[in-house]
Structure formats: structure tokens, C-alpha cells
Structure 1
Amino acid sequence: MPQSVMDPHVNPADETIATTGLAVRFLLAGDHSNGSIAAFELMVPAAQRLPAPAHSHDHYEETIYGLDGVVTWTVDGHHIDVGPGQALCIPRGAVHRFDNNGSQDAKMLCVITPAAIGPEYFREVFEVINTAAGGPPDRARMAEIMRRHGLTPAAPKP
């Protein structure tokens, strides 16, 4: 007989998903929240630029809470620094990306509502980044993975 209440879990993914420079550790995945929320830590080393293209998502909000360091988010062309104790909500449809332009490593808490993406997205994207071995990742492959997981890559800037 199926349970109507999910079994409670602490840190359902004790896995750190990483590539050169970036690391993600899920604290709560959608399959442990009836799909209502996903939460993960995102670690970005000093002077790290996001290797993935800017993107938007139409099916969820993404809220960022700064824990350590400062990360510059570009949201619909506006640069917003998020540091410890500061929060930023990226609304559905807003084109965004991030970079750590500082000299200190940064860590953020990212909350996705509803839980439209999970660890598999980051595993797939980081594999493409790792395959590039320091060069630019395969943009077509990245775009395919992003679209499959509900993200819309922004058109490249001329």
C-alpha cells in the first residue's frame, strides 16, 4: 500500500557534483518534497566565470541566498552582487547567469520552486564541461541538455 506521507530524509544526496571550478550539493531534491522544492549549495571559486550559456526557465523561480563570498548575477542585463545574508529571486522567464569576479571563493544556497531540476541536470552539464578539458564546452550539447531539463539557453550575444 503506497504511503501518503513521504519518508523524511536529511540531505538526500550526500553527493557533491563537481567540475573544474564549480560544485553542487543537493540538500533537498524534488523526490523528497513532493516536487514542491529543491535546494542545493553552489560553490563558485574566485575568478570563476560560468561556462554554461545564460538562460531562463519558464516553469520555476530560482532564489539565491549568499553564504560566503560575492557572486555577480546578471539578470535581464542588470548586474546584481549577492553576498552573505543577501537574497535574490530570479523570476520565471528572466535571462540570467553568474560569475565570481572576486578574489574569494563563494557559496550560495539555491532554492528552486517548484523542484523542476535536480542532480541529474548538473551531472549531465558538468560531464560536457569536463569533456571540453578546459576549452569551451560543446554549446549544442549544453543547449540540448538545458532544454531537456526545462531551461532555455539565451541567444549568443553578437
Structure 2
Amino acid sequence: MTTHAMQQAATGRGDLITIGSLSMQFLVDGRHTTGHMAMAEMVVQPQAKVPPPHRHVDVDETIHMLEGSLTYRVDGESRVLNPGDYCFSPRGSVHHFSNPGTVPARALVVFSPANIGPDYFNEVAGVLGAGGPPDLAALKGVMQRHGLELAM
């Protein structure tokens, strides 16, 4: 384990990755789990523009609400998740979420295996933060490299 990874494991927090009104801070990533799982704290601001409906080719995702609420949709079924609630999105399922509320929503998100992690979110932040309209071809390329597909 690298010095940075040991420090991250000791403090329990990785770098904060911000993409518009969504932020991810990885608590555990694939380097800590030999690729088995990654876990992040996600904060979604009210009325945030969030990822469009998408699927993970080979990654399961579980979300556990800590504060606020999210509307979460998996394969056509929509639920409002409040603190203590969780939702499982099996690999291949079309899912997306939103925060239509007035307060930030905070949740733990687990990806298994850890094919989606800090590298993915940093690359997306780079594409979307490049200025001007988003480069959709570049964004789709990042998604494809990390096993995500738009479901539109």
C-alpha cells in the first residue's frame, strides 16, 4: 500500500471530488480491497443536475441514506429514500437519482466490484469542468472505459 493510500486509510477519507452540485469522497477504494469494493460518501445539493439514467455493465451499487432525501429510480420503480433507507441497483439495471428537496442529501454509496471509483469521478469532473458545453463524446468515452452506459 502506498503512503498516500495508508494515510487515506488512516484518516478514512480520500480527496473530495466535486462535479457540479454533486460531491464524492471515497472512504475505501479498490486499492484497499484488491478491487472487491469501493465506498464513498456522496452529497447531492438540492435541485442538482445529476447523472442521467445509466447502467453499470459489471458493478452492483448500493446506496444508504444518511441525511436529507433522494428520489431514486431503478428499472422503472421510483422510491423516496430518507435517512436509514437503502436501495440496491444490480449490475445492468437502469438507475438514476435526484434531490428535489431544499436541503443537501448525504449518502454512503458502495460499488462492487470497485470498477467505479475515484478515477472515474475525477475523469468525469475533468470533462465537465473543461469550460463551455460538455463534450458528450468525451463523457461517453470515460463512461465506457469504466463500464457505464447511458440509458437514453
The two structures have a TM-score, normalised by structure 2, of 0.87
The alignment yields a C-alpha RMSD, in angstroms, of 1.8
Given the alignment of the two structures, is residue 44 of structure 1 paired with residue 44 of structure 2, yes or no? yes
Mapping for residues 113-152 of structure 1, pairs under 5 Å? 113-132=112-131, 135=133, 137-152=134-149
Shift of the alpha carbon at 1:77? Answer: 2.0
SS of 1:46's equivalent in the other structure is: coil
**Structure-1 residue corresponding to 2:88:** 89
Q: 1:93 to 1:54 in 2, by over 3 A?
A: same
Shift of the alpha carbon at 1:35? Answer: 1.1
- Aligned residues, how many? 146
Shift of the alpha carbon at 1:108? Answer: 0.7
Structure 2: distance between partners of 1:87 and 1:10: 27
Shift of the alpha carbon at 1:11? Answer: 4.8
CA contact (8 A) 1:12 1:29 kept: no
**Structure-2 residue corresponding to 1:4:** none
Name whichever of 69-78 and 106-115 sits farther off: 69-78
Shift of the alpha carbon at 1:98? Answer: 1.1
**Structure-1 residue corresponding to 2:23:** 23
Shift of the alpha carbon at 1:12? Answer: 6.1
Larger CA Rg, structure 1 vs 2: 1
Q: 1:76 to 1:11 in 2, by over 3 A?
A: farther
Structure 2: distance between partners of 1:11 and 1:112: 20
Structure 1: distance between partners of 2:11 and 2:141: 29
- Segments of structure 1 that go 5 or more residues without pairing to the other structure are 1-6
Kindly, what percent of the aligned residue pairs are identical? 37
Mapping for residues 68-107 of structure 1, pairs under 5 Å? 68-107=67-106
Shift of the alpha carbon at 1:23? Answer: 0.7
CA contact (8 A) 2:20 2:49 kept: no
CA contact (8 A) 2:19 2:128 kept: yes
